[in-house]
A and B are shown apart, each in its own frame.
Chain A
Amino acid sequence: MRKLDNFFLKVASGSYGHIIKRDDIIWWKAWGIRILSVFFALIVCGFVTVSLTDLNPIEMYVTMVEGAVGTPRLTWNLFQNTAILLCVSLALTPAFKMKFWNIGGEGQILIGGLATASCMIFLGGKLPNGVLIPIMFLASVVAASIWALVPAYFKTRFNANETLFTLMMNYVAIQLVAYFTLEWSVPKGSGTPRTLEFGQLPTLLGQKYLINILVVIVLTVLLYIYLKYSKQGYEISVVGESEKTAKYIGINVKKVILRTMAISGALCGVAGFLLVAGTDHSLKSDTSGGRGFTAIMVSWLAKFNPVFMIVTSLLIVFLQKGASKISEVYRLNSSFSDIITGIIIFFIIGSEFFINYRIKLARKEKNV
């Protein structure tokens, strides 16, 4: 490892060659590199799995596929999980496009979920579902929006570091939710989260999760249109590319930052709403299950494009499901899937370098 590391140090310092930024890369080459990196990652994952279990690699991948789409229930599960992860990724994307590092998705989701759950508890039974559900939706969107506006306000007003601020807000939200979960648990303080009877999202065509999936599909289309075809989306791009240009053409940069973070938070709120009202029917501090963080990678790997995000979120959920199947079959710990996810992401992250840069070897240069 040291030796290898030393090698890369030398590469980086130009001893072996120069690193040149590519002007442009043809799309199929870029995607070729990405697919190749996933391929290499799968090989490494294969090695890891084989060394920990006595599976042969082929069996391993078959087990993975079975785990992800083996039965209709699993397939629905896969789509449901993909939808929620996609929803959070969509939520973070406008902020990222603006170069505002909102890593507070986790907290924003939970606050959305908390708002939904409180409506379900306090208004449940008093209002018909037809009225309750819209109120729940609205409450979660507003609450999460406000939660996201706090760091945005301090960024625009005092230039407080948004990465650190949003990160810290996550844990405030987690503890807040933990508090209410305990308060509301039956019996009180036991930690068994209360099942929320009222205001559950309806099942469509006999499918419990279909409505979640539909909502996220609609959101994907809307966000794609918003970013690409709306004036506000255009302003986000300009602010993200160059604040100087934004000011030059008269964009109110602070307003755009606040507005965009409100949207980002609102969409996280939707994810929280879907998780509590449409999936779990309960609220726990791990309701969001790290999706606020995973979504950062999904959005970034998809180059902030909502359509690519469908692919990246599906890939990650597929791997997670597949890997948990392996751990289930071989009675390994369920965290096995995190290791696999981690390895794949490392490879994809690393591959971006080869898309953006060319390495010109020193040896070649001498020949020229």
Chain B
Amino acid sequence: MITTIIQRAVMQGTPLLFGSTGEILTEKAGHLNLGIPGIMYVGAISGVAGSFLYEQSFASPTMINPLLAVLIPFLCSIVGSVLMGLIYCFLTVTLRANQNVTGLALTTFGIGIGNFFGGSLIKLVNTDVPSIALSNTSNAFKTSLPFAEKLGWFGDIFLSYGFLVYLAIIVAVISSFILKKTRMGLHLRAVGESPETADAAGINVTKYKYLSTCIGSAIAGLGGLYYVMDYANGVWSNNGFGDRGWLSIALVIFSVWRPSLSILGSILFGFLYVIPTYIPNISVSAKKLFEMLPYVVTIVVLIITSVRNKKENQPPAALGLPYFREER
């Protein structure tokens, strides 16, 4: 049973890990992107749309090429998310709009897009399938290592997932490495801490803000893609993604802006999510209290970091603040 719990915790945690890694990259450049939940919806629906159209182009969905079945939604998802990131950047960086307002509008917009196309895709392309169920594509996404099953519990815990789970971890590790150990990361962090200083040092602040937000959006969007293609077996249901976008933002705070910590954090959040299922005789309502836990834990972390007031654990100093050179 423990292996199943861990397995399910990892699967629950993966969308959050993508989301929080993306958001951390964005926040490190000083942008509090509250549009992440919307972006994750768009990442999911773009992938669904790409894959749906691809599957529809065959007489029978079983004929699809597994590689293309993965590649097409993957790329569609990235394109969709990056477009959302660009809207956010254009408004907040170039047009200097308020970040909170823009982000929230982006979330409304993104969730709208996700649910709208999720609900209307079939009608829009005039097919006669009853619902969007991309089980064949989903199978391609879920392909795990062939020898995983032979390795018992070890295989179940570590090797039984679709490739996106490993990608989430790899992306988090790479992000962590870039932020800590590379010049790009140093410059990115400087932009989020003190854009004036970065500007004076000759760093192109605008370029870094655009890059980090767009790459961050692309990563977060993959969280949505993972959810629908792998976790939900390729079945789109409106609002099925739930509040995972906001949980991702909570995870950013929980992991004190460190992608490496958010790997563990995502599994913990996932664990909190699945644990009530394994408690005997638990009522449906009590489950809701368990779903509250990640947020409560996050608030506790936020309070502790504020009380301890350790500089390294604070949000980037210029988070949420606009930067205009003219007003220097």
Contact = CB atoms under 8 A, between A and B. Distances in A.
Interface of A: 1, 5, 8-9, 11-13, 18-21, 52, 101, 103, 154, 158-161, 163-165, 167-172, 174-176, 178-183, 189, 191, 290, 293-294, 296-297, 300-301, 331-339, 341-343, 345-346, 349-350, 352-353, 356-357
A189 B284 CA distance: 6
Given A176-B288, A296-B100, A349-B97, 11 more contacts: A1-B86, A19-B326, A103-B34, A168-B253, A169-B299, A171-B292, A171-B295, A175-B292, A178-B291, A345-B109, A349-B105
A335 B116 CA distance: 5
B98 A349 contact: yes
Contact of A349 (B101, B116, B243, B298): B101
Given A169-B299, A332-B123, A12 B112 contact: no
Nearest to A175: B292
A242 B168 CA distance: 44
B32 interface: yes
Interface size class of B (residues with CB under 8 A): 35 or more
Interface of B is mostly: helix
A293 B107 contact: yes
Given A332-B123, A353-B97, A168 B250 contact: yes
Nearest to B114: A335
Given A154-B303, A158-B306, A346-B105, A163 B100 contact: yes
Interface in B97-132: 97-98, 100-102, 104-120, 123-124
Contact of A12 (B93, B117, B247, B295): B93
Contacts of A12: 93-94, 206
A353 B98 contact: no
A353 B110 CA distance: 23
Contact of B326 (A21, A181, A182, A336): A21
Nearest to A336: B116
Interface in B190-243: 204, 206-207, 210, 238, 243
B296 interface: yes
B292 A176 contact: yes
B206 A297 contact: no
B152 to A, nearest CB: 37
